[in-house]
Amino acid sequence: MTLDRFVDPPHPPSGQPVEGLYRLIADHASDAVLCVGLDGQMRYASPAFCKITGWSIEATLAFNHRALVHPDERLTVSQILDSLQAGELGASCRYRYVRPDGSYVWVEACFQVASGQYGLGAGYAGSIRDITGRKHLEEQLAAAQAELARVSATDSLTQLLSRGRFNDALAAEWARGGRDEQPLSLLLLEIDYLEAYTSLYGPQARDEVLRIAAACVRGRLHRTTDLVSRYREEAFAVLMPHTDGFGAMAMADRVRDAVLDRNLPHTRSPHGIVSVSLGAATVIPAQGSLPVALTNKAEQALGEARRLGRNRIEADAAVVVAAATAGGWFDGSRQDFQGKP
């Protein structure tokens, strides 16, 4: 194709030259009008362009258009103009112009091919609109949405992941474990006698205990793939991909010891200090199964830990078998791992 095509302009009122009419429109329009040669040299800029960018007419016409565009968007603008040469009837994009003080202004531009019959040579004609204010509003909205997403994904008290984020992660890891045929382990940890603790020491002390317990759990995670979340008021969840029963129980023992080692007084507990109970479960996800299969097993194990007096670790039968096979077992109320002789 050639670059001398252009839609014929509408006929002006009788007796008024075309050039004068369009210059009048360009000079008084709020949107800027720009003509750029095929070599990128600025051929014409309306007063609105100078108002938007802050450059004088003389300075503008001395520039190559590329020099005025923000470096991050120069390639995009070049591709847009190239598409016009390839046959596109019109193209639009957003980018930034540099101002004399070094700041940038966001614009929305619509370009077309301009023929040489208007006295400026073959090139491109563009209408330019200042969208800096709109762009700032969009950025503020995006930041607010990101903050909302962060807040909704985080428990405000413990700064752990929220239950909703845990559910999302569990679904993703369940699907991945099914594809890879790898075990997925879950620990549910519950602070023992938290209601009694709150009645005795007050809600502020309860919140502090929750924060301490959360820090104890978080401090025992050493893999970036493991995650800990708030699960219920008094309970946390630890999700461990590619972790078998032995690994799950080893983690449970470390977490429980970390809380006990804080030696926080709890005179309404039979153990005299703040303790935790844990339920552990490990599953290799089967195709077509649901993550509730894992959470149910962990809930049942946690219920058994409560029934047996709390301050202990209980596990799904499959976890116990896997742990024993790996060379460890549990002993007494603390249920520590011991190596076989």
- pLDDT tens digits for 82-109? 888 777 778 889 999 999 999 999 999 9
**Would you say the C-alpha torsion 198, 199, 201, 202 has a positive or negative sign?**
positive
Quick one: 327 and 230 in the same domain? yes
Question: According to the model, what pLDDT value does residue 113 have?
Answer: 87
CATH number, domain of 34, equals 3.30.450.20
- pLDDT tens digits for 226-260? 999 999 989 999 999 999 999 999 999 999 999 99
Quick one: average pLDDT of 21-49? 79
* pLDDT: which is higher, 13 or 221: 221
Domains identified in the chain, total number: 2
Structural domain harbouring 223: 153-339
Kindly report which listed range (68-82, 105-119, 179-193) carries the lowest average pLDDT score: 105-119
Please list, in sequence order, all residues whose beta carbon lies within 8 angstroms of the beta carbon of residue 330, skipping any fewer than 6 positions away.
Answer: 249, 313, 323, 336, 337
CATH number, domain of 327, equals 3.30.70.270
Quick one: 170 and 317 in the same domain? yes
pTM: 0.56
Quick one: 245 and 323 in the same domain? yes
If you write DSSP's letter for every residue of 263-314 in order, what string do you get? Answer: --B-TTSTTSB--EEEEEEEE-PPTT--THHHHHHHHHHHHHHHHTTSSSEE
Nearest CA to 240 out of 298, 300, 155, 314 is that of 298
Distances (CA, A) of 106 to 129, 165, 206: 9, 36, 51
Name the band, by pLDDT with cuts 50, 70 and 90, for residue 316: confident
> Is residue 337 over pLDDT 60?
no
Please tell me the number of Cα atoms within 13 Å of 177 on its side-chain side. 28
Burial of 338 (0-12, 13-18, 19+ CB in 10 A): exposed
Quick one: 170 and 280 in the same domain? yes
* pLDDT: which is higher, 288 or 293: 293
In a domain, 13, yes or no: no
